[in-house]
Structure 1
């Protein structure tokens, strides 16, 4: 069996040292034959973007080494017209994957180093007798890290022209992870400066550049409304919602089945699908390649959230923590295994993600934290059914929501509160719940007509930690209606719980106790306990949770606790 290439993104090293390679070489053909002069390919992190870009570089590059042997036996070899292009073009390859900086000053230092190395790589351009002395001076200023930010913004275009003049042949430009500096800038409050630089750099390289033969840009997002790509009418975008290149990033179902046979893990295939499957690129089912490779490299470690733990996920956590009550309600639906219907904007505006829930869902989709399966048109808008792709990503959402609550109550009190509920000690549960609400409800907007939904989401989030021992269901049919929350223990001898929520506004005439009686009567009349009884659970507790601002009233079928 071949070695597993964990973290290896250099195509030549991977092939030379006989690592496992899932053949994506037909990407070269699709790239070359694509309509646009430049192709933008947004994909989630660690889905093979850098390896694929490296493969394209080694294919086209007219280097002193003959790299044709790297493509022996690959699918691209069956296309002779494309193979004739191997080694025939000068290539500029530039990656921003490591340019994550806390200030714009540090970013400038990082950019100076990146472009210095790039210009040294193509230092042969200085040997061109036709190069002007002013251009030599500029070239050396970049190498010596003396160039200004404005001069660096022109570096790609200028270098392509120097190379074109040297070879008298147009250049292929490959820019990998272009939006890494943009996301870092967003987190560290120098977003405007970073956007301005990337706009100048990319528009110079890919817009009206007579030295350009073909270009590819990869990243996670299509950041377009900031006009990074304004005027690039030669740009072809192949996002996860389009069908071209849909099988070229990540592993397909067929590829996974072959790997399972090759590495003797076929018996785990069903579990692997639950953990790492679930993505749809175009109409292709895609598995997370990073997690698959990590699992195959050491299956004894078991199925783990490798991908979600491969970065800090800071941006996702920050954005979700600042989101509205409706967003948190939708998040509860997603964690419960349901889907939500949203419009998706492919042109992400980083600065507006926190202002627009549609931008938020678009961001989570394109970064790999959601999947889109069904699309349908409603008037002039296209809606997508969004859901959490797999167990691995669900574990991240659960962790985020749990931390919202643990930030405001000690872990010990949280555990006591949850344990009190599942053993039926409603008095202790109620006392700690009041403390919890007083400290945590600031995460939620409890005003307006959606208040009941907000409390619903709040309690669902609080109960997430029970998923290992209970089935936590929400808004499901049972009897003659839909209950709010149901806790179904895996051990049928344990306590099953049905909870109904009601919200009172300050000007409502009903008392808290009257409203609790209405909620309990609803549980009884609608026979919400039917599901629990059908599973053989006889020990059942029916609870009414009544909220009025931060005042809570809890009543069970026989006893009640009032918290004010």
Structure 2
């Protein structure tokens, strides 16, 4: 009988002792020990096993639980390795910032004071040690009882390492989980600069030139090294999902998925699991989303659906995309349709500058798991990557987001009436609602750029995205003697097929709206764009010219 599946338990000991199913990632211990860097940062998307891996490291190395923890690794890969001799050999500090989410700087500092108090309470036995001086005990007591000054809070981790070294006469393994959560929260809530200074002091005092540290691993979603949090740390090595190091230690590999499917009678579902939850690339290795795969296997009666996407509010992602310029929104449309976009990726994300340039959003989406890289090149010291949407789960998220942009400015009922009017050929009703739609929504799409016609094109494609259940919506494809702008192809060939041609006119142009429409309709006829529809056996064909002048729009047939 297979073991139980757990989703959300990130305590390694709890998983083992309760006989939950575990993918063996214990060779992370070997790679961690053998890496030449003293301090290692491994940014990965949320819910890809970062906390569980750090918990495993804690139970492996912790000198306080040497004997009771040894059995946790029985039968795991690390037990066969020479590095197993380090089991239970070091004092360990494990601290997570995952809950440091506050709306103000004062609340943030108070939250850090509580967190450090809870951390110190785990080491209360050393408080009375004769190895600590009276000054040491006073510092310890102030942190533990939440009486410490801000300056002492920033030194709390480094001082605890010093206390543990004095107590055990051994250097300390330091594990910090979700180190960047306070950074993102400070950015979103408006106290970024103060918070960065505070976090810099905490991490620098713990990691920079610390004589009491054996090795350290930090995890988070973003690298954010340019924040100067890690300035001057020559002993820090960063391995993002673009690097090969630790590439198979977070998320599930194909081999692990094959075994999972076998163990839980889902071999016949592997291809569907791949479509929904595969597609990530870490250091050249294909990786499945562990949260979604385990959620599906645990709840197979609910079917394949988004799990990872729905496990968080995704506020920052939504904010960045909704604030994106016309090029960002147009390229997002391309990504949803399975196309590749090529972008320069900066894995040193700077939260303060992330919305200064719309193109920064692609680096953020890649590092946070909302895109994947297919191919990368190092050009003048920077990675240039081919980017795609990783899987169906993420694609659905983007589609829903685009629909929400439009729904925010127009009731869903009117939206559905407008689309129904279009596909049934009621152009008078469609035009009236479409004009309202443009007026209310065009602010989302900046038309002041170099290619305003492309903006309108992307706008209409976004509007049509919910048709894709019963229709295929194509854009810029060859048919007849040219390339049409948009074609709506019914999957039932007894229904209406639609060809759209866009024209954008400016004040300085001689053409009137009527003249531009005539030219657009003539182009459809002369270039025989209907050839593709005729080939598919569609007999009813509607040809439309959509002419824009600023926010003024007219539809002609």
TM-score w.r.t. the length of structure 2 is 0.97
Partner of 1:74: 76
Mapped contact 1:349–1:359 kept (Cα < 8 A):
no
Post-superposition Cα deviations, 1:275-326, rounded to whole Å, max 9, x if no partner, equal: 1111111111111110111100011101111111001111111111111111
Tell me, yes or no, if structure 1 residue 303 matches structure 2 residue 298: no
Tell me, yes or no, if structure 1 residue 413 matches structure 2 residue 453: no
- Work out the CA distance in 1 between the residues paired with 2:249 and 2:393: 22
- 1:397-476 matches, within 5 Å, as 397-476=398-477
Shift of 1:327: 1.0
Mapped contact 1:336–1:472 kept (Cα < 8 A):
no
Mapped contact 1:175–1:217 kept (Cα < 8 A):
yes
Partner of 2:98: 97
- 1:92-171 matches, within 5 Å, as 92-171=93-172
**Which has the higher mean CA deviation after the structures are superposed, 130-139 or 333-342?**
130-139
Shift of the 39–325 alpha-carbon distance from structure 1 to 2, 3 Å rule, reads same
Secondary structure of the structure 2 residue equivalent to 1:488: strand
Shift of 1:232: 1.2
Partner of 1:39: 40
Shift of the 379–270 alpha-carbon distance from structure 1 to 2, 3 Å rule, reads same
Partner of 2:528: 527
- Work out the CA distance in 1 between the residues paired with 2:479 and 2:386: 24
Partner of 1:215: 216
- Work out the CA distance in 2 between the residues paired with 1:328 and 1:365: 16
Post-superposition Cα deviations, 1:121-160, rounded to whole Å, max 9, x if no partner, equal: 1123323323222221111111111122221111111110
Shift of the 440–516 alpha-carbon distance from structure 1 to 2, 3 Å rule, reads same
Partner of 1:317: 318
Secondary structure of the structure 2 residue equivalent to 1:343: strand
Secondary structure of the structure 1 residue equivalent to 2:119: helix
Shift of 1:419: 1.2
Partner of 2:254: 253
- Work out the CA distance in 2 between the residues paired with 1:510 and 1:377: 47
Tell me, yes or no, if structure 1 residue 194 matches structure 2 residue 190: no
Shift of the 203–68 alpha-carbon distance from structure 1 to 2, 3 Å rule, reads same
Shift of the 323–23 alpha-carbon distance from structure 1 to 2, 3 Å rule, reads same
Post-superposition Cα deviations, 1:208-239, rounded to whole Å, max 9, x if no partner, equal: 00000000000000111110111111111110
Shift of the 213–517 alpha-carbon distance from structure 1 to 2, 3 Å rule, reads same
Mapped contact 2:165–2:171 kept (Cα < 8 A):
yes
- Work out the CA distance in 2 between the residues paired with 1:254 and 1:517: 59
Mapped contact 2:346–2:383 kept (Cα < 8 A):
no
- Work out the CA distance in 2 between the residues paired with 1:226 and 1:117: 27
Shift of the 128–526 alpha-carbon distance from structure 1 to 2, 3 Å rule, reads farther
Partner of 1:553: 554
Tell me, yes or no, if structure 1 residue 239 matches structure 2 residue 209: no
- Work out the CA distance in 2 between the residues paired with 1:379 and 1:233: 23
Shift of 1:170: 0.2
Secondary structure of the structure 2 residue equivalent to 1:46: coil
Alignment gaps of 5+ in structure 1: 557-564
- Work out the CA distance in 2 between the residues paired with 1:483 and 1:530: 11
Mapped contact 2:342–2:385 kept (Cα < 8 A):
yes
Mapped contact 2:489–2:497 kept (Cα < 8 A):
yes
Shift of 1:379: 6.1
Alignment gaps of 5+ in structure 2: none
Shift of the 380–481 alpha-carbon distance from structure 1 to 2, 3 Å rule, reads farther
Secondary structure of the structure 1 residue equivalent to 2:68: coil
Mapped contact 1:516–1:544 kept (Cα < 8 A):
yes
Post-superposition Cα deviations, 1:28-72, rounded to whole Å, max 9, x if no partner, equal: 111111121011000000000000110111111112443111111
Mapped contact 2:343–2:385 kept (Cα < 8 A):
yes
Mapped contact 1:66–1:87 kept (Cα < 8 A):
no
- Work out the CA distance in 2 between the residues paired with 1:106 and 1:531: 62
Shift of the 183–528 alpha-carbon distance from structure 1 to 2, 3 Å rule, reads same
- Work out the CA distance in 1 between the residues paired with 2:312 and 2:373: 23
Q: How many residues align?
A: 555
Post-superposition Cα deviations, 1:307-356, rounded to whole Å, max 9, x if no partner, equal: 11001111111111111111111111112221111100011011111111
Mapped contact 2:346–2:382 kept (Cα < 8 A):
no
Partner of 2:62: 61
Mapped contact 2:178–2:219 kept (Cα < 8 A):
yes
Mapped contact 1:4–1:20 kept (Cα < 8 A):
yes
**Which has the higher mean CA deviation after the structures are superposed, 443-452 or 305-314?**
443-452
- Work out the CA distance in 2 between the residues paired with 1:201 and 1:495: 64
Post-superposition Cα deviations, 1:360-418, rounded to whole Å, max 9, x if no partner, equal: 11001100111111123556653211111111111111121111111111111111111
Shift of the 117–464 alpha-carbon distance from structure 1 to 2, 3 Å rule, reads same
Shift of the 378–484 alpha-carbon distance from structure 1 to 2, 3 Å rule, reads farther
Mapped contact 2:278–2:287 kept (Cα < 8 A):
yes
Partner of 2:479: 478
Tell me, yes or no, if structure 1 residue 542 matches structure 2 residue 543: yes
Shift of the 144–379 alpha-carbon distance from structure 1 to 2, 3 Å rule, reads closer
Mapped contact 1:344–1:358 kept (Cα < 8 A):
no
Mapped contact 1:485–1:499 kept (Cα < 8 A):
yes
- Work out the CA distance in 2 between the residues paired with 1:431 and 1:305: 36
Mapped contact 2:345–2:382 kept (Cα < 8 A):
no
